[in-house]
Amino acid sequence: MFLPVSFRSFLFGVLFSALALFVLPSILKQEYKSIGSNMAVNNSTRNTAISILANMSLKSLIFRPRTAALNSKPIQTASRHLTSTAVTKSAKPFMDAVRSRRTIYALNKTAPISDSQIQTIVKEALLNTPSSFNSQTTRLVLLLREEHDKFWDLTKESLKPLISAEQFEQTSKKLDGFKAGYGTILFYEDQPTIHSLEERFATYADKFQQWSEHTSAMHQFVIWTALEAEGFGANLQHYNPVVDVKAQKQWNLPEHWSLKAQLVFGGREGEPNVKEFKPVEERFRVFSS
């Protein structure tokens, strides 16, 4: 016959109480008798132990039902690490990934990893990319699939009244190429945070906007490199401030977020162009004494 969990817990508590009240005292007495010839036993201590067992309340010995444990909530703690198995570990060493990061315009709507893995990469970058004064001014918006398409439609709508018909025809084809991708990441910088730093550190007040741009650029590079290491192609665009207002209204974003760049990514439809490098000797100096 099946008994409810709570009733079974009650019966178990009763049995345990009976054991504590009747069996354990006799065991203790027998044990004390067997060792009485070898060591002195303090009678008051023995009687106290038996008294405690005899007076233990039945209620205190009944186990809590399992439902209490099931209803308990886990404690959440903040961490700079996202311990998620969703991140695929690329076999490429870091510098190989840096060398492989290139601008790729020919994209399609395929994705070599899942949407959840893309989100984890973006979150990891947001948590671990440095910022001046640890200001953490960067704000990111990830647009995938149809939401990605909406952004480039809004960009086209914003540009059309600003340029000639001939220019728009060429620009429209270019924008369609971005729309052909899988997703877009919008890079914003939080202006109130920057203004707060300008007030707190007056000596560097004229530098915080510039340092904010540095912070945004580092986030762009980290995410761009990470996505291409996973097999995506990507290119970086700057259609701000033309599309700022429409994007803010479309996704209900704070007005004090300032748009800086748009990273377009998707399946690779083509290969990057050949890149020419200026001599390193002209751009690098080292001094060592």
> How far, in Å, CA of 156 to CA of 175, rounded?
7
Read off the tokens for 102: 């290139």
Angle at 114 between CA 181 and CA 260, to 5 degrees: 50
**pLDDT, average across residues 152-178:** 96
The 10s digit of each residue's pLDDT in 125-156 is 999 999 999 999 999 999 999 999 999 999 99
Question: How far is 143 from 183, CA to CA, in rounded Å?
Answer: 6
**Residue 199 pLDDT:** 97
Which CATH number fits the domain 105-270, given the four candidates 3.40.50.300, 3.40.109.10, 3.40.718.10, 3.40.50.720? 3.40.109.10
SS3 call for 30:
helix
Predicted confidence (pLDDT) per residue in 112-128, tens digit: 999 999 999 999 999 99
pLDDT greater than 60 at residue 7: no
pTM of the model: 0.69
Query: Among 18-27, 156-165, 228-237, which is the least confidently predicted range?
Result: 18-27
Domains in the chain: boundaries: 105-270
Query: Which SS3 state, helix, strand or coil, does residue 190 take?
Result: strand
